[in-house]
Amino acid sequence: MKIDSLFGLKGKRALVTGSGQGIGFELAKGLAEAGAEVIINDIDPDRVENAASKLAFIGATVHKLPFDVTNPETVASKIDAFEKEAGSIDILVNNAGMQYRAPLEEFPADKFDFLMKLNVNSVFYVSKAVAQHMIKRGKGKIINICSVQTALARPSIAPYTGSKGAVANLTKGMATDWARHGLQINGLAPGYFKTELTSALVADEDFTNWLSNRTPAGRWGDVSELVGACIFLSSEGSSFVNGHILYVDGGITVSV
């Protein structure tokens, strides 16, 4: 096969949840640059509009699909309606998620419940709704955004660590159930990347020095460095890759 047919995404349509900003937006932009139509999702319609405008400005074909990924009824109705009215969703990137920091012995129960609902439950809700259509077609790509905290832990984020470990094992379970239907389901696990949500940590000189010393690559990652891995997992180049968690972390998970 030619390289462009292995890794090009022309003719594909990709839904990226939580793509109104941050890593989700950058992944949507990268998929668009690889030739895919992209579906911008966020709970905030204004963020959807803003992100869609930016992508349309660079020539991308963009669809807008704001909805709450934590509501299973809404998820199912929105996905079914899109498939009926606009066409197939060939690629799903489950990116929506949140972080909340507190000592574990003081972690609020309501924050724990919502973190799990957004970080874990939504992956199941959206994947189930999309996979029901993919299975009928006998093909599809699902990429679940994991984290270095899938494999590691740090103080004050134990529930987040638990949620990302759950996403990784849910990814393996999805592959076990759905690979026989022609789907590839994998996880993409970012390390420490510069985004709007990590700007305070980036500005913290002590933390940045710690991270640079702890990471074999010696630096923060740039979100553009996640795009290639996402394109690979979205493309025909990963046709026999299933249930894998791909760490893009500068080596932090392999070094002590």
Q: Which residues are catalytic?
A: 160
Rg (CA), the chain: 18
DSSP 16-80: ETTTTSHHHHHHHHHHHHTT-EEEE--S-HHHHHHHHHHHHHTT--EEE----TT-HHHHHHHHH
Gap between the Cα atoms of 30 and 143, Å rounded: 14
**3-state class (DSSP) for residue 186:** strand
Gap between the Cα atoms of 45 and 52, Å rounded: 10
Token couple for 49: 């509009």
Token couple for 125: 């809700």
* Contact assessment for residue 29 and residue 36, using Cβ atoms and an 8 Å cutoff: no
* Contact assessment for residue 13 and residue 39, using Cβ atoms and an 8 Å cutoff: yes
* Contact assessment for residue 248 and residue 190, using Cβ atoms and an 8 Å cutoff: yes
Token couple for 48: 């959807």
For the chain, where are the E strands, in sequence order?
Answer: 13-16, 37-40, 62-64, 91-94, 140-145, 183-190, 193-194, 221-222, 245-248
